[in-house]
Structure 1
Amino acid sequence: MDLALLLALMAIVIPVLLHLLTRASKPRPGTAKLPPGSLGLPVIGQSLDLLRAMRANTAEQWIQARVDRYGPVSKLSLFGIPTVLLTGSKGNKFLFFNPSLASQQPQSAQRIIGERNILELMGADHKRVRGALLEFLKPDMLRLYVGKIDDEVRRHLDENWAGRRTVTVMPLMKKLTFDIISLLLFGLEGGAVRDGLNRDFDHVMDGMWSVPVDLPFTAFRRSLKASASARRVLAGITRETKAKLQRGEASRNSDLIACLLSLTDDSGAPLLSEEEIVDNAMLSLIAGHDTSSILLTFLIRHLANDPDTLAAMVHEHEEVAKSKGDGEALTWEDLMKLKLTWRAAQEMLRLVPPVLGTFRRATEDLEFDGYLIPKGWQVMWMAPTTHKDGSIFPEPDKFNPSRFENQAASVVPQCSFVAFGGGPRICVGMEFARIETLVAMHYLVRRFRWKLCCKENTFVRDPAPSPLHGLPIELEPKAASP
């Protein structure tokens, strides 16, 4: 696209957006009023302000400043779309459980992942695809895969941690979680195909939150190109797995693709199309490795300066190890005993949620707390508004895993801890993330001691949290452990 054509398109698009923003900002006769706030500059709105705050790690203060100024409900404009920001557990509950609010991804993410992924679907299609994914991710299925995850973690530590004086945690955690998820989703063992897919996904992530203009040398172009490459690989794996199922060389329990291909409707027809399988495999790869790697990285970061929690965690894991034979893999039953470790992980997710917040789209005019949410507007929730609320979590900036010992509604109101979202669209991979985290931490805390290399213990969001320099640490091996 040459410059003249781009300018011509902008001359057409910008006036249309201005008209839509102006029209949307006017209350409709006979309805509730719009929330307080400002839509800001045309098209740009508050997008740059939010992105700057995320990159400066001041997003929580940015959100709180809006709440202090406008209250728990306010209007703004993000990424060219009028938006209502809802805060607090009441707002979260309204957003998570309202069937008239559809999932809303940035256009860039939609084009990169595919239009038939579960985040884009509504109604019967969403229920059908979600049910298919849950068939693979339900506990009865996941217990079959603990041994495979155990093998991957031990192999990873032997190859990438053992014998090293220093390591950089974030890229290694991304590699570990990608290897685990690609093994369980597609049955991919280590090798050229898995390594190539991993490289593709590094670039897929580059343009997930970018201006969706397909021009040379842009992050969006790189992501589209990497997405196309990854999709070709996944489509090939899908066809190969289908052939293996027909020959009896694979079963429904082999991996996610085999499971999805095995599902049929009442008439015996495939429950999911190949496009839906590939699109949701793309999404599962992104969600299944990126968020877990962030959790593991920030747990390691915190434990370096929290000897009491680390000692309690080591004790818990050593107690489990005592019941195992040399080299014996962890089991589902072993993981159920690691309660302190998961409470620490939940507390880490509360303090540093991998996803700061997401959007929904109003499919009709809605009213919340006396305010109008017009059809077509975005509705946004942000995790820190409840995660850092001192009335819900006393001393909210303090790391305190014990606060998750009792999560009764009388202690933590519904939709207050929202690291995995909530309602009918709560993360389908929540239980998988727990297993992956517990297995990884079991071998990390028993095999190594570590300390941070950087005196500054900071991180930024772009849009996911990333610690300074990827979190380099100094390693010290412990006495040999099985």
Structure 2
Amino acid sequence: MDTFAYLVPLVLLPLSLSFFFYIRKSNSSSSKNPPGTSGWPMVGENIDFALAGPQKFVYDRMKKYSPDVFQTSLLGEKMAVFCGATGNKFLFTNENKILTSWWPQSMKKALLFPDFVEDSLKEVSALKRSFLHDILKPEALKQYIPLMDSMARDHLEADWSPHDEVKVFPMLKKYTFALACKLFMSVDDPEHVARLAKHFTLVTSGMFSVPIDLPGTAYNRAIKGGKLVRDELLKIIRDRKKEMIENKETAGRDLLSRMLLVTDENGEFMSEMEISNNIIGLLVASYETTSTAVTFVLKYLAELPHVYDEVYREQMEIVKSKGPNELLRWEDIQKMKYSWNVACEALRLTPPAQGAFREAITDFTFAGFTIPKGWKTFWTVHTTHKNPKYFPDPEKFDPSRFEGSGPAPYTFVPFGGGPRMCPGKEYARLEVLVFVHDVVTKFKLEKSIPDEKIVFHASPVPMNGLPVRLQPHAKCT
């Protein structure tokens, strides 16, 4: 009897799987839905995605199924992957009409309070509040430029100058996180920043890993790290609130103070957990994507001496126009036209983000296929960035692509587009240009590993951290 009890599942399992694959095949062959496959039960195509990398994974399926849109299963979700400028335009212009923002459940569990995990991203986020977009506009960010410059100089003097060689990527993560803590929350104690960064690294390292919450897994560490980050932020928020009440503050000295003072259309203040959620979202963007963006700009400057020389010439013109040790201002940033073209070309070739998710809130049709309500969508950066139709000789580094009117609409999309275009785009632009200015006017760079491999996690990462040799410039007398 015991033997029979063990044999029954062994017989039924293959039959069940056969039935499952039959049903799935029938569904995927529907002429209404985009062509593609759901991959293996439970696992989907996650393994294929990880092994191939995002670009090869998408290109292989575009070739096999459709150059416009195909279906897959990633992160436990039925997903339609949109490709090309037409797909970008469709998704960007239909935000909040037929699509809404979406984060993977694993990411939400790592980042957000448990109370918010089951809510839609729109319900979780206060980023839609106009004040946050206002505070990230160029007019508001102008005041931060001298502080960005001062912190970049201090960082280079303390962490770069004493060495003949540095690893760019980890150094930039340290700098960008410290800058975000200072600008968003006025937190600048080195020990406090280091502790918060340590917890935050656990989150970003594991929030896109296989969502298995068992001891020792990256995801388990991300969950624990997320709780530690939220606890730290709540303490910062409560201390600031108490301080503002005692001092009767009515003006916001930084983003945190502005969040504590702002009310919605019903006159209600943001909750402490709402504020924490939004600060975490901003820290993710400023820590992960901006540090990656600056890293790859410096990578290309180290690889391409002729590009470096032109950036150096432009930046030294700015130095010569200023007094000794005078900090950068908005007017200086506006003169960095070639440097920004270089940064854009680096963002085209190696964008920090590979795209973004949305969720269908109703059935809709694209390219002759129906995407059902509840399906997730993903738009891809590299299907336009690396397309010779939009960027001739796409693997060539050519900053002149961004002169004049620049690329065609919806083809250069490192910051997304439409209503959900990254609100931190201008913040990222300033941070990139300020740091590049301070690096190139201080050092010439040479890659220590000429053929260093790039691997993909949440963002592209130099396998060895991009070690570069530093050649300080002779000081002008």
User: What is the TM-score when the length of structure 1 is the normalising length?
Assistant: 0.89
SS class of match (1:455): coil
Q: Deviations over 1:17-40 (max 9, x none)?
A: x97995796389xx9711122222
C-alpha deviations, 1:165-191, integer Å up to 9, x for none?
111111001001111111011101132
Q: Identify the range of structure 1 (334-343 vs 31-40) with the bigger mean alpha-carbon deviation.
A: 31-40
Structure 1 unaligned segments of length 5 or more: list them.
1-10
Change (3 A) 1:20 1:255: farther
Amino acid at match of 2:327: A
Equivalent in the alignment of 1:4: none
**Equivalent residue, structure 1, for 2:27:** 26
Q: 1:97 aligns with which of 86, 93, 99?
A: 93
Distance 1:478 1:274, change over 3 A: same
- Paired with 1:20 and 1:187, the residues of 2 have a C-alpha distance of 55
Q: Is the 8 A contact 1:89 1:386 kept in 2?
A: yes
C-alpha change, 1:175 and 1:336, in structure 2 (3 Å) is same
Displacement of 1:449 = 1.2
Deviation at 1:198, TM superposition (A): 0.9
Q: Deviations over 1:86-121 (max 9, x none)?
A: 10111111122222212222211111121659x953
Q: Residue 108 of structure 1 aligns to which amino acid in structure 2?
A: S
- State the distance in 2 between where 1:95 and 1:235 align: 35
Match of 2:420 in 1: 425
- Provide structure 2 residue ranges, at least 5 long, that are not aligned to the other structure: 1-11
What is the root-mean-square deviation of aligned Cα atoms in Å? Answer: 2.7
Q: Which residue of 1 aligns with 2:206?
A: 207
Report deviation, 1:130.
Answer: 4.1
1:122 aligns with 122
Note the alpha carbon deviations across 1:48-96, whole angstroms, 9 max, x for none.
Answer: 1111122xxxx32332221122122211211222211110111111122
Of 455, 462, 475, which residue of structure 2 is paired with 1:460?
455
For 1:250 and 1:440, the matched residues in 2 are separated by 33
The structure-2 alpha-carbon separation of the partners of 1:210 and 1:130, relative to structure 1 and needing over 3 Å to count, comes to farther
The secondary structure found in structure 2 opposite 1:26 is helix
User: Could you tell me the percent identity over the aligned residues?
Assistant: 37
Partner of residue 5, structure 1: none
Match for residue 9 of structure 2?
none
Does 2:430 match 1:435?
A: yes
2:464 to 459, 463, 469: 469
Give the TM-score of the pair, scaled to structure 2. 0.90
SS of residue in 1 equivalent to 2:446: strand
Match for residue 83 of structure 1? 79
| SS in structure 1 at match of 2:359 | strand
Out of 385, 388, 393, the residue aligned to residue 390 of structure 1 is 388
Alignment correspondent of 1:74: 70
Report the 3-state secondary structure (helix = DSSP H, G, I; strand = E; otherwise coil) of the residue aligned with 2:80.
strand
Give a deviation string over 1:242-291, Cα, whole Å, max 9, x none.
22322337664421111111212355431x22211101111111111211
1:182-223 residue CA offsets vs partner (Å, 9 max, x unmatched): 101110113221110011111111211123332211111111
Do 2:35 and 2:70's aligned partners in 1 also have CA atoms closer than 8 Å? Answer: yes
Give 1:461's aligned amino acid: F
* 1:312 Cα deviation from its structure 2 partner: 0.8
Deviation, 1:127, is 7.3
Question: 2:262 corresponds to which residue?
Answer: 263
Q: Is the 1:21–1:82 contact (alpha carbons within 8 Å) kept by the matching residues of 2?
A: no
Distance 1:459 1:89 in 2: 26
Give the Cα separation in 1 of the matches to 2:415 and 2:339.
18
Query: Cα–Cα, structure 1 residues 320 and 197, in superposed 2: closer, same or farther, change >3 Å?
Result: same
Letter aligned with residue 121 of structure 1: L
Contact 1:356 1:384 in 2 (8 A): yes
Instruction: Name the SS for the 1:83 alignment partner.
Output: strand
Q: Tell whether the 8 Å contact from 2:149 to 2:327 is kept in structure 1 after alignment.
A: yes
Q: What residue is the counterpart of 2:3 in the other structure?
A: none
- Matched residue, 1:306: 304
1:65 is matched with which residue? 60
Q: Residue in 1 aligned with 2:224?
A: 225
Q: Does structure 1 residue 157 correspond to structure 2 residue 156?
A: yes
